[in-house]
Amino acid sequence: MDDNQSGPPVDPFAGLPGASARSLGGAWQAPGSFGTTGRGSRMLGGTGRRATVISTVSTLVVLAALAAVFLLAPGSRQVEHAFFNPQDMWRSFVGNPRQGYYSVGAAIWLNIRMFIVAEVLILVLALVIALIRQSTHPAMFPIRILSTSYVDFFRGVPLILVIFAIGLGIPALSLPVVSSQSDAIYGVAALVLSYSAYVSEVYRAGLNSVHQSQVAAARSLGLSHRSALRHVILPQAVRNIIPPLLNDFISLQKDTALVGILGTIEANKAADIYSEQVFNFSSFTVAAILFLILTIPLARFTDHLIDRDRRRRLAGAAR
Amino acid sequence: MSADGPAVDARPAPDEGAAIRIEGLRKSFGTNEVLKGIDVSVATHEVICLIGTSGSGKSTLLRCANLLEPIDAGRISLWGREITGPGVDQNLVRRYIGIVFQSFNLFPHMTVLQNVTLAPRKALGMPRARAEEEARALLSRFGLDDKEAEFPDRLSGGQQQRVAIVRALAMRPQIMLLDEVTSALDPELVAEVLDVIRELAAAGMTMVIATHEMGFARDIAHRVCFLEEGRIIEDAPPAELFTEPKDERTQRFLRRIIAAGRL
C-alpha cells in the first residue's frame, strides 16, 4: 500500500460507473479487504491511483462546465443579484420585525419543531395502520377496509391540498377546542395524516420481510400473538426498514415548508415575506441552505446505516 | 440425568392414557390433502421416529400436533385431554409440547441467551435472573457455555440447532417434536445434534422425531412409523420394521434407502 499514499484506500471499483456514489458519501465501498500480498496490492494500488485522477478530473470538468453555463448566461448578473446578494441574505437571515420581515434563521426552528412532533406521531399512527392492515381476524374486517381506504386516499391526494383542507376546513367548523388551534398545529396534523399513509406501507413491507417461520418459532414456544409481534417480528421488521423510513423523514423535513401556505411563519414563509418587501429572492436561498443543513446529515446517516447493514449481511453470509 | 437439569425434569407420567393420541387426523392445503387420516399414539417416555419420503406428511403431522396448523378433521389429545377442540388455550398447550425445526428458526436479532430466555420470561413470566440462570445451566449442559453472547449468524449450523433445542427445552416441555433437525446441516455437524437428542431420550423425554437418518432411528426409536402419501403405512419397533417390513411400500422405500447407502 506504500505506493498509494496520495489516494483514498484501495478501491478496485473506483472508475467504474458505480464509483461516483463513493464521492457522495461512501455508499459504495469495496467489500472487505482484498488481501495485502505485495503483488496484489501493487496492482490494485495502481488502479486506485488512476481512478482517483480520473474522478478528480471529471469532477473538475463538470463543475467548470456548470460554472461556465451560469457565468456566460446573458442574465447571470441579474440572477446573482436577485438570488445571491450577500447583504439581502444576511438581512433576511437575522430579520427585522420593525421593518415588517421575520428572521428566516429563527423561523427554521418552527420547521424543526413541526418536523419532530410530526415524526413521532407518524411513527405511531403508521404502525397502527400497518398492523390493522396485516391483521387477519374476521372481526377486524371493517377497520381493515377503513385503513385501506385511508391509505389509498391520503397517498392519492396532494399534500398541499390536505394542508389547505385541514388548515381552512377545521377552523371553519367552529368546533370547541379543535377549531381554535394554531395554523402550525393544523399543518402538523396534515403532515401526519398524509405521511402516515406512506409510512404505514413502509412498515407493512417491513412486516412482510420477516419470514413466516419466525412467527411459527415464536408461537411454538408458547408466546402469544402480541408477544411474538412485539419481541420477534417488529424488531426485525423495523431493522429492515430504517433506510426507507429515514428517506421519508428527509422528505418530511422539507415538506414542513408547505405549512407556510396557511400563513404560519416558518422558514419558507419568512423568506417569502422578505422577498415581497425588498423584491429580492436571496431570502429563499437562505431558506434553501438552512433546509440543506438539516437534510444532508440525515441523508449521510441513512447511507451509513445502509452501508453498515450491507457489511453485516456480508459478514453473516461469509460463514 | 433428570435431576441435574430443570428442563428434562419430566413430570411423573399421568396415568390417563397416552402422552399424545392422534385420531383420524386429516389436513389439506387447498385441494392437496397432505394427511389422510392419521391414527397414532405416543406413550410417556416413548420415542417415535417418523420416516418416509419428503412430502409424505411428516412435517405437517408435527406442525398439527403443535397446533401450528389448524386441522380439518380428527382429534389430538394430550394425556387424555383434547387440544384440538374449541376454547383450548393454544399458548398453554405449546408449553407442554416443544418443537424444533429443520431450519433452526433462531431469532437473528437476539443473542443466544436472549433466544433461550425470551419465552420463559414472556410466556411464563419468569424473572430475568432466574430465566438466565436456567438458560445457562441448559447451555452448558449441551456444550454451549461460551456462546451465550453470540448472535445466531456467528454460530455453525450444528451449534444453531443445539441452541434451538435448548430454546425449546427452556420452556420445560413434556414432549418434544423434532422436524428433520439434521437435514439442513453439513454432514460433519450431524453427530453433535444427534448426540443431544440421544441425551434427551436417555433422560426419558417423550419425543416424536421426523428424520431421514435411518441408522439413528433404528438406534433411538421405540417405534418407527413409515408414512407415505399422508397415511401411516407401517408402525412397528425398529428391529421389526427395518429387518422384515411387512408392507410392500415400506419394503420399496427401504430398498431405495439401502441402495442410496443410507442404512
The answer to the question of residue A141 being in a domain is yes
> What is the least distance, in Å, from the CA of B250 to any CA of chain A?
31
Identify the bridge partners of residue B207 per DSSP, sorted by sequence position.
B47, B176
The answer to the question of residue A85 being in a domain is no
Determine what percent of chain A is predicted with pLDDT higher than 70.
Answer: 83
The answer to the question of residue A205 being in a domain is yes
- Answer yes or no: are the C-beta atoms of B59 and B180 closer than 8 Å: yes
Q: Is the pLDDT of residue B4 over 60?
A: no
The answer to the question of residue A111 being in a domain is yes
The confidence score (pLDDT) of residue A47 equals: 67
> pLDDT digits over A131-164, tens only?
999 888 888 899 999 999 999 999 999 999 999 9
The CA distance from A227 to B70, in Å, is 21
B108 touches chain A (CB under 8 A): yes
Do A309 and A203 fall within a single domain? yes
- Answer yes or no: are the C-beta atoms of A215 and A208 closer than 8 Å: no
Q: Cβ separation of A232 and B107 shorter than 8 Å?
A: yes
Do A68 and A103 fall within a single domain? no
Determine what percent of chain A is predicted with pLDDT higher than 90.
Answer: 45
Do A162 and A306 fall within a single domain? yes
Return all residues near B137 (Cβ < 8 A) that are at least 6 apart.
B5, B6
Which residue shows C-alpha cell 385420531?
A: B23
Do A101 and A250 fall within a single domain? yes
Residue with the bigger pLDDT between A183 and B261: it is: A183
Could you list the beta-strand ranges (E) of chain B.
20-29, 32-42, 47-51, 73-78, 81-82, 97-100, 175-179, 206-210, 223-228, 231-236
> What is the least distance, in Å, from the CA of A253 to any CA of chain B?
30
* Range(s) of the domain holding residue A13: 2-72
Confidence of residue B105 (pLDDT cuts 50, 70, 90): very high
Name every chain B residue with its beta carbon within 8 A of the beta carbon of A224.
91, 123
Q: Which residue of B has its CA nearest to A240?
A: B109
Do A94 and A68 fall within a single domain? no
Do A66 and A94 fall within a single domain? no
Question: Which three cell numbers mark B245?
Answer: 417390513
Question: Which three cell numbers mark B153?
Answer: 449468524
A227 touches chain B (CB under 8 A): yes
Q: Which residue of A has its CA nearest to B173?
A: A221
Q: Cβ separation of A217 and B106 shorter than 8 Å?
A: yes
Q: Is the pLDDT of residue A276 over 50?
A: yes
Q: At which of A39, A72, A105 does a domain end? A: A72
Q: What is the mean pLDDT of chain B?
A: 87
- Answer yes or no: are the C-beta atoms of B242 and B49 closer than 8 Å: no
Return all residues near A91 (Cβ < 8 A) that are at least 6 apart.
A274, A278
The CA distance from B197 to B161, in Å, is 11
Name every chain A residue with its beta carbon within 8 A of the beta carbon of B98.
220-221
Do A106 and A50 fall within a single domain? no
Which of A33-37, A178-182, B225-229 is the most confident on average?
A: B225-229
Do A100 and A225 fall within a single domain? yes
Domain ranges (residues) in chain B: 20-259
The confidence score (pLDDT) of residue A309 equals: 77
Looking up residue A248, the CATH number of its domain turns out to be 1.10.3720.10
Confidence of residue A178 (pLDDT cuts 50, 70, 90): confident
Q: Which residue type occupies A204?
A: R
The answer to the question of residue A82 being in a domain is no
The confidence score (pLDDT) of residue A137 equals: 85
> pLDDT digits over B145-186, tens only?
898 899 998 898 889 999 999 999 999 999 999 999 888 888
Q: Cβ separation of B105 and A214 shorter than 8 Å?
A: yes
Confidence of residue B209 (pLDDT cuts 50, 70, 90): very high
The confidence score (pLDDT) of residue A41 equals: 43
Quote the number of domains for chain A: 2
Q: Which residue of B has its CA nearest to A218?
A: B119
The answer to the question of residue A192 being in a domain is yes
- Rounded mean pLDDT, A3-24: 43
Q: What is the mean pLDDT of chain A?
A: 83
Do A25 and A127 fall within a single domain? no
Confidence of residue B140 (pLDDT cuts 50, 70, 90): very high
Predicted TM-score (pTM) of the model is 0.76
Q: Cα dist. B100→A200, A269, B20 in Å?
A: 33, 61, 17
The confidence score (pLDDT) of residue B5 equals: 40
The confidence score (pLDDT) of residue A31 equals: 44
Stretch 155-214 of chain B: residues touching chain A, C-beta under 8 Å: 156, 167-168, 171
Q: Which residue of A has its CA nearest to B164?
A: A217
Do A175 and A228 fall within a single domain? yes
Q: Which residue of A has its CA nearest to B67?
A: A220
Do A160 and A306 fall within a single domain? yes
The answer to the question of residue A248 being in a domain is yes
Do A239 and A143 fall within a single domain? yes
The confidence score (pLDDT) of residue A36 equals: 43
A137 touches chain B (CB under 8 A): no
A235 touches chain B (CB under 8 A): yes
Q: ipTM value of the model?
A: 0.86
- Rounded mean pLDDT, A85-96: 88
A232 touches chain B (CB under 8 A): yes
Buried b (16+ CB within 10 A) or exposed e, A238-264: bbbbbebbbbbbbebbbbbbbbbbbeb
Q: Cα dist. B217→B45, B194, B221, B235 in Å?
A: 16, 10, 5, 13
| The CATH homologous superfamily of the domain defined by B20-259 | P-loop containing nucleotide triphosphate hydrolases (3.40.50.300)
Confidence of residue A46 (pLDDT cuts 50, 70, 90): low
The confidence score (pLDDT) of residue B237 equals: 92
The confidence score (pLDDT) of residue A316 equals: 57
